[in-house]
Structure 1
Amino acid sequence: MNCIIIEDEIPAQSILKHFIDKVPNLNLIDTFKAAIEANSFLNSNTVDVVFLDINLPDMSGLDFIKTIKNPPAIIMTTAYPDYAVSSFELDTIVDYLVKPFSFDRFLKAINKAKDRIETPNNSTEGKDEKSIFLNVDKTLHKIVLNSILYIESDRNYITVVTETQKLSYIDSLKNWTAKLPENQFNQVHKSFIINSKFVDKISGNTLFIKDNKIPIGRTYKQELLKQLKII
C-alpha cells in the first residue's frame, strides 16, 4: 500500500516513518507539512493510505478531507481526542490515532485500512448501515445501528445490547428515538426499545430476542404487532 504523511511536526513525522518502515507491505512515497502541499500530489498520484494530522498550518485535516475527490483511506493522527466522534462521521476515515500511540495501535489502524482497500464495497455498505460512537469509560465504541438487538433504560442509565457488545452509560431512552432508523425499532415498554428484525417469538406480553426476555407494555403492544405485520 502506498502512503503519504501530512503532518507539520517533525518528531511526529519521524515516529510515523519509523513505524511505516516496520510494516513490509507499506510504502511511504512522500511527506508533507501542509494540506495544500499534498493536494496536487493526491490528484496526480495513486495513494492508498494518508496519515493526516488534524491541526495543520493552512487548514484543518477534517476540512481538507472534504475537498479530496475520491479520497483514499485516511488514518487521523492527532494529540486531541475531542475530534474523534466528528472524524468518524466521514466515511473515508478508517481509524483515529491519539498521540502518543504505540506500534501495536498503529498496526491495528493499518489492518483496518487494508480491509477497506481490499473490500471497497465496505464504504458503500457503511452508508446503508449507519453507525455512531458511544463514549463509555473514556473509550469510543463504534455501534452499527442495525446491529443493535435492544436498548434498555434503568433510571439514568442506558444499556445498548448488540450481538457482540453490551455498553452502559448515562443517557435517556428518549434521546435514542431520533438516532434509530424508522420502521425497524420499536419502543415496547417504558424501559425498552427493540430492533424488530431480531424478534424470535412473542409469548403473551413477553418477546424473545436471542434468549433475552423483554416485557411488552400494554400501551405499546398494538403498535408492535402492526410493525411485525401480525395484524
Structure 2
Amino acid sequence: MNCVIIEDEIPAQKLVKHYISKLPELTLIAAFQSALEANRFLQNNAVDLIFLDINLPDISGIEYIRTLNNPPGIIMTTAYPEHAAESFELDTICDYLVKPFSFHRFLKAINKAKNGHRKTMDQYTTMEEEASIFVNIDKTLHKILLTDILFIASDRNYITLVTLKGKFTFIDALKTWIEKLPDEDFIQVHRSYIINCKKIEKIKGNLVFLNGQGIPVGRTYKPQFRKRISLG
C-alpha cells in the first residue's frame, strides 16, 4: 500500500514514519506538513492510504477530505479525541488514532485499512443505528448488539461469545476479536478473555465480575486494565 503522511508536527510525523517502516506491506512515498502542500502531489500520484492530521495550517484535515472527489483510505491522527464523531461522518475514514498512539494501535488501524474498512468493521451497522455484528454459526448469521456482549472467552480453537441474551460458540481466534471490537468499550484482561468494560459490576482481587460471573485478570494485562478503569 502506497502511503502519504500529512502532519505538521515533526515528532508525530517521525513516529508514523517509524511505524510504517516496520510493515513491509506499506510504502511511504511522501510526507507533507500541510494539506495544501500535499494537494498537487495527490492529484498526480496514486495513493492507497493517507495518514492525516486534523489540525493543520490553512485548512483542517476534515475540511480537506471534503474537497477530494475520490479520496483513498484515510487514517485520521489527532491529539483531540472530541473530533472523532465529526470525522466518522466521512465514509472514507478507516480509523481514528489519538496521539500518542502505540504501534499495537497503529497496526490495528492498518489491518482495518487493508481489509477495505470504512468507519468501522464492515460487519457493523451504520453509525445512526445501534452497533452490531454478525456471527456465522452452523450456516446461520446471528446479529449481536455490541452493547449486549459481556465477554469473549477463548478455548483452544473455539470462541464463546457471552451476551445478555445467551452464548454463541464457534471456531475462531481471540486475536480476531481484539481487532474487531472497539477499543473504547472492550479490553483484553487475560490470554483467554476480552471483556466489555461497560458491563463491569465489581472487582475483587484478580477477578472482574460481569453479570455475576468472575473473569480472571492476568498479571500481564493487569497494568493496562487498572489504567483503563483509573485505578493507577
- The answer, yes or no, to whether TM exceeds 0.5 is yes
Q: How does 1:38-53 map to 2 (within 5 A)?
A: 38-53=38-53
8 Å CA contact 2:131, 2:145 repeated in 1: no
Match of 1:172 in 2: none
Write out per-residue CA displacement over residues 44-88 of structure 1, whole angstroms, 9 at most, x where no aligned residue: 111000000000011110000000110000000000000001111
Write out per-residue CA displacement over residues 190-219 of structure 1, whole angstroms, 9 at most, x where no aligned residue: xxxxxxxxxxxxxxxxxxxx77xxxxxxxx
2: CA distance, partners of 1:73 / 1:46? 12
2: CA distance, partners of 1:53 / 1:167? 34
Pair 1:99–1:42, CA change in 2 (3 A):
same
| Secondary structure at the counterpart of residue 51 of structure 2 | strand
1: CA distance, partners of 2:127 / 2:79? 24
1: CA distance, partners of 2:145 / 2:23? 30
Q: How does 1:103-182 map to 2 (within 5 A)?
A: 103-116=103-116, 129-132=125-128, 143=131, 163-166=144-147
8 Å CA contact 2:4, 2:30 repeated in 1: yes
2: CA distance, partners of 1:167 / 1:59? 40
Match of 2:10 in 1: 10
Please list every run of at least 4 consecutive aligned residues from structure 1 whose deviation after the TM superposition is greater than 3 angstroms.
none
Structure 2: tracts of 5 or more residues without a match:
135-142, 150-164, 167-232
| Secondary structure at the counterpart of residue 19 of structure 1 | helix
**What one-letter code is carried by the residue in structure 2 that aligns with 1:39?**
N
Write out per-residue CA displacement over residues 76-115 of structure 1, whole angstroms, 9 at most, x where no aligned residue: 0000000001111100001000000000000000000000
Q: RMSD of the TM alignment (CA)?
A: 3.0
Match of 1:184 in 2: none
1: CA distance, partners of 2:91 / 2:51? 15
Match of 1:20 in 2: 20
Q: Percent identity?
A: 58
Match of 1:195 in 2: none
Structure 1: tracts of 5 or more residues without a match:
134-141, 148-161, 169-209, 212-231
The offset of 1:25, in angstroms, is 0.2
Number of matched pairs: 143
Q: TM-score if structure 1 supplies the norm length?
A: 0.56
Structure with more of its chain in helix, by fraction? 1
**What one-letter code is carried by the residue in structure 2 that aligns with 1:42?**
L
1: CA distance, partners of 2:128 / 2:94? 14
2: CA distance, partners of 1:71 / 1:143? 25
2: CA distance, partners of 1:84 / 1:167? 23
The offset of 1:132, in angstroms, is 4.1
The offset of 1:130, in angstroms, is 2.5
Pair 1:43–1:11, CA change in 2 (3 A):
same
The offset of 1:14, in angstroms, is 0.5
Match of 1:204 in 2: none
Pair 1:82–1:32, CA change in 2 (3 A):
same
Return the index of the structure with the highest Cα Rg.
Answer: 1
**What one-letter code is carried by the residue in structure 2 that aligns with 1:115?**
N
**Pair 1:31 & 2:31 matched:** yes
**What one-letter code is carried by the residue in structure 1 that aligns with 2:146?**
Q
